[in-house]
Structure 1
Amino acid sequence: MGQLSLLLSGAAIAALSMPALAQQASGDDGAEGVRADIIVTGEKSARTLQQTPTSIAVVTPEKIERETLITIQDVYNRTANLSETYGSSGFTIRGISNSGVGAGGQADAASVYVDGAPIPKWALYGGPTDMWDVQQVEVLRGPQSTIQGLNALAGGIVITSKEPSLTRWGGDARLLWTEYDGRTFSAAAGGPIIQDELGIRLSAERRNDRGLIRNVTRGGYDDALKSLNLRGKIKWMPQAIPGLEAVASYNRVRRDGGYLYEYARTDVPNYFSRRISTGDQPSRGKIDSDIAVLNISYPLADRLKLSSVTSWNRSKVHSRIDTDGTAQDSQAIDNRYDYKTLTQELRLNYDSDRLSGLLGAWYYRRTGSLQQNSRVNIATPTSTIAALLRANGATAAQASFLSTAYAAQLPVIPVTYFAQQPEKVETMALFGDGRFKLTERLTLIGGFRFDHERNRYVAETVTNFNGTLPNANFLGAAYAPVIALINQGVLGLVSDASSPLAGTSRTFNAFLPKAGISMDWTPDITTAFTVQRAYRSGGSSQNPARAELVPYDPEYSWNYEGSLRWKWLDGHLMLNAHVFYMKWKDQQVTAYFGRNAYDYNTVNAAGSHLYGFEVEANANVARGIDLYASVGHVRTKFDNFDLPVGATSSVDLTGTQFPYAPRWTLAGGINARFGPGFTANLNANYRSFVFTGVGQDQGQYKVGGRTVVNGRIGYETGRWSLFAFARNIFNEEYMQYQYEAIHQAILGEPQTVGIGASVHL
């Protein structure tokens, strides 16, 4: 943490000396002057960041360029109270994973939207979330259930791509190359087809990466990557219909690369610099994603606007991984996801001096299925075998002796597992959000959402024993009938996990209110306090060992939040701060029932709370120099864990922390312009330790904190630039996850140096 502390200390010292510098800058014709207000749209109303009490971190095109941000994961690592989880599989907002914190349930707790379309969680690690030709990224921290509804209990991430110009033709191109044979070719171009009325923009990015983890069994690199991202946008503002605006977009992604996480072996010397894997099966993730969005708006009156947003997307994901990680053909997972999502929103926005807000209706439908084709090894359940023997007349000593001897012959039960799980989720909602100015300074905030959801979950499972049973005579002829009985019991356990096609339907209604108050103490200082309810929908989960569909209910939370917006020196220094507390109940967690390692399903059994804060600051220190810094802190705790009757889980969550919930996230950087056209950026981010597991023994799954420093230096003119960049300059060696028992870990990105060139026309 030392390098980041030094960087942030420098930023603080510069900020303290800023008044004189800012006065000097404001009096200089060449100074950057007052910072332009950032307009945020993630709450479906165009407001400045200063006017928005929600905790929103905004990533602008300037930040994307200066820090060479390539993927959404780069944004995760540079934002307060936002962090990666297991490899690239997801993220946490304020300590809450986008897929929930109790390893139960199917609904998301946070979502990523691209141009208004929600991206399925299983496509996040390689879907349309790269940063090329992106206009803005907004990270909304805290529940967004009133505005976003489904899958927004923790917050959301809104990505908006660049729109076509109606006035001039132009284009952008970029080439990146890194020392590990990573090559990225990016281009975008567009302009008016009909001047001031109809415009188009096309963009493309091709990424090729050799990879870092060399497979010494199969050859090649497990994390080699090839991807192609294509996007087209058309904007129409017909002069014959003043005020009408329509934007249609289509985004196509084809990605063939590593699995959503990649293990490297830790039982070799210098494994950070010599990253290898030994799996005999491919570890790959192939994603085909297609998104179409149509956004239409039209003013019905002077202050009233009608908007319609229609989105359709299809995600096909094929994920394969060698789960034993060895050269033996033992275990492997092969999953195929094929889902289609349709959304339709109609919204009325009203904006006057005293009253502003929106009313809307929303429809969401997701259909598709997951197909699993896996080979797994289940630890032979000696306690279950002993109980079988006791039920057939054996003494406790005999049952213990025979079950232990049998497990020595068959330590694991090899099983082939095929399952298909069709699913349909439909949600309809009415929502509203508004503000009423009681006085020139005091504003009331209110909102609501009524969600009605129907979901149907279907499952079919076929399991088969995939090995050789112990010879019935291995303990002698006297025990042969008993061993034969155990063999039949093992086959019975495998057979019990098979089930014919069966389904369940669930219906949920949720009312989600929001209330708050905002005070403008001066034109530059605003505080606000809000309270709102959020939820994560229920459903049904399959118990793999018993082949049963088990229903579970929604979970709910109340969130209390205070905010501060403060501008100094005509906008040369801006500070945003938030403090929050959340109380959560009926949380969906995984409960085990003792038959074997796959005897589990989702139940509502936990309650928890979390609290913390985030502070973000930006400062124009002097001509050509600006600083930025952020700090986030969150504390999470499971308050209770009450399992249903029959559960035998040894994992007690009471008093433990959420997985992948860093207590501290810090980031900071400096941008500088000097000489005739030289630019430089130095930035760093710190994440404190996290627990990668849950339960009373989660201390065994602790991953230490890390500080990563990055930089870029270049020369630019009005039309082109050349630059060099470095990621993880000091080659910080860190892990995201470690599985010591099998000597495997997910390792952080090493020091990487690259060069690039860009053209802007």
Structure 2
Amino acid sequence: MEYGSHSRLMASGSLSEDLAGRIAVDDWARDNCIDYTNPAFAVGSTDRDHESHTIRAKLLWQPQEIPGFQGKLTFLHGMTNRPNWEAVTEPYEDLESATASNPSWRLRTNTTILDLSHDFGNGWTLFNQLQYSDIRIKRSTEPVNSGTVVLDQDVTSNETRATFGTPEDRISGVTGLFVSHTDSDELLDYRGTTPYDDRKDSLGLFAEATWRLADRRSLTGGLRYQRDDITRRGVSSFTPNLLDDDESFDAWLPKLALAHDLDRSSRIGVMVSKGYNPGGVTLNLTSGEYVPFDAETSWNSEISAASGCSTTGWN
């Protein structure tokens, strides 16, 4: 038999003439539906039940003395727990398993976001988003040295965008700058201890403009310059070699799209864009040597069709 629960709580309202707030809590949990019948089944620190806990809190500031300005502060806490699997052995209808262990995953995140925007009233709007995330992921196993993993990660990013025009204007677009810094500490406990210390600094410069060729047809072109500086240091129980890798990767990423509006809520289009993923280094478990790999790039082609519906039905 399986037991579970799900509860939600939300409150919102004005705190002053310029300030409003909202908080929402969502909790969900249920028991594992599998009976583990192996007498040698090892539990240890593993947790085979399902859990999900989320807290969201927001503050919105719109000062009357600064027309067009808006500030929003968001905090998000999330925690989930899951078993590695819910698998059964024969006979399947008994929902029983003869396995000797079942790892579990626990993920905890705390994210704070500060959004600022200012509409200047002349077609230009300036946006800025500052974000910080504290992340912890743990894979628990029993025995502990059969694959326990701990990942602690701090991510800080900032994106500044300036937009001009509206979708109805002849020309509209956006330009901006994105920067981020990621610190990762990783630990694997399997046939010994494998710790790694990773750093990644990213920079993105981008611009995009849309030209309305006609009332229902538009052409969009964009370009992004992306640079990633990656450092990875550590030791592994699978090799006597030390890792001290420091590399940089960059790419120019163009985009071109053509769209045609069939009516107010339906659109067809085609798009061509270039994608990119930075390179790095990996461990060859056969030779015990660290092997670098290059950045990946791909050209993507898309044909799309989108439609919406109104209160009276599909348009």
Is the shorter-chain TM-score for this pair beyond 0.5, marking a shared fold? yes
* CA shift in 2, pair 1:344/1:569, >3 Å: closer
* CA shift in 2, pair 1:522/1:187, >3 Å: closer
Q: Deviations over 1:558-597 (max 9, x none)?
A: 11122234568986115xxxxxxxxxxxxxxxxxxxxxxx
Q: 1:549 aligns with which of 260, 285, 290?
A: 290
Q: Which residue of 2 aligns with 1:262?
A: 85
1:437 matched to 2:212 = yes
* CA shift in 2, pair 1:183/1:509, >3 Å: same
1:288 matched to 2:111 = no
Q: Which residue of 1 aligns with 2:300?
A: 559
Q: Which one scores higher on RCO, CA 8 angstroms, separation ≥ 6?
A: 1
1:440, CA displacement in angstroms?
2.0
How far apart in 2 are the matches of 1:279 and 1:557? 43
Instruction: Give 3-state SS (helix, strand or coil) of 1:560's partner.
Output: strand
1:540 matched to 2:281 = yes
Q: Which residue of 1 aligns with 2:165?
A: 351
Structure with bigger helix share is 1
- What is the alpha-carbon root mean square deviation over aligned residues? 2.5
Is residue 320–residue 332 contact of structure 1 (8 Å, CA) maintained in 2? no
* CA shift in 2, pair 1:563/1:284, >3 Å: closer
How far apart in 1 are the matches of 2:312 and 2:279? 45
1:245 is aligned with what amino acid?
Answer: Q
* CA shift in 2, pair 1:522/1:287, >3 Å: closer
1:263, CA displacement in angstroms?
4.8
Gaps of 5+ in 2: none
2:85 is aligned with what amino acid?
Answer: E
Q: Which residue of 1 aligns with 2:58?
A: 233
2:163 is aligned with what amino acid?
Answer: N
Is residue 234–residue 248 contact of structure 1 (8 Å, CA) maintained in 2? yes
1:498 is aligned with what amino acid?
Answer: P
1:524, CA displacement in angstroms?
5.3
Q: 1:460 aligns with which of 213, 216, 235?
A: 235
Is residue 184–residue 208 contact of structure 1 (8 Å, CA) maintained in 2? yes
1:302, CA displacement in angstroms?
1.9
* CA shift in 2, pair 1:203/1:507, >3 Å: same
Question: Quick check: 310-319 or 541-550, which moved more?
Answer: 541-550
TM-score, length of structure 2 as denominator length: 0.89
Q: 2:9 aligns with which of 163, 187, 190?
A: 187
Larger Rg: 1
1:338 matched to 2:155 = no
Report the number of matched residues. Answer: 309
Which residues in structure 2 correspond to 1:142-291 (within 5 Å)? 180-195=2-17, 197-216=18-37, 217=39, 218=41, 223-255=48-80, 257-259=81-83, 261-266=84-89, 268-269=90-91, 271-280=92-101, 283-291=103-111
Which residues in structure 2 correspond to 1:300-311 (within 5 Å)? 300-311=120-131
Instruction: Give 3-state SS (helix, strand or coil) of 2:59's partner.
Output: strand
Instruction: Give 3-state SS (helix, strand or coil) of 1:551's partner.
Output: strand
TM-score, length of structure 1 as denominator length: 0.38
1:546, CA displacement in angstroms?
3.9
Q: Which residue of 2 aligns with 1:511?
A: 252
How far apart in 2 are the matches of 1:355 and 1:307? 19
Structure with bigger strand share is 2
Q: Deviations over 1:528-552 (max 9, x none)?
A: 2211111121111122444432211
- Percentage identity across aligned positions? 20
* CA shift in 2, pair 1:264/1:503, >3 Å: same
How far apart in 1 are the matches of 2:265 and 2:53? 45
1:228, CA displacement in angstroms?
2.7
1:554, CA displacement in angstroms?
1.2
2:230 is aligned with what amino acid?
Answer: N
* CA shift in 2, pair 1:357/1:277, >3 Å: farther
How far apart in 1 are the matches of 2:149 and 2:36? 21
Question: Quick check: 365-374 or 556-565, which moved more?
Answer: 556-565
1:373 is aligned with what amino acid?
Answer: D
Instruction: Give 3-state SS (helix, strand or coil) of 1:262's partner.
Output: coil
How far apart in 1 are the matches of 2:266 and 2:149? 52
Q: Deviations over 1:437-468 (max 9, x none)?
A: 122233111111110111011120236xxxxx
How far apart in 1 are the matches of 2:253 and 2:286? 37
Gaps of 5+ in 1: 1-178, 323-328, 375-415, 464-496, 575-761
How far apart in 2 are the matches of 1:258 and 1:568? 37
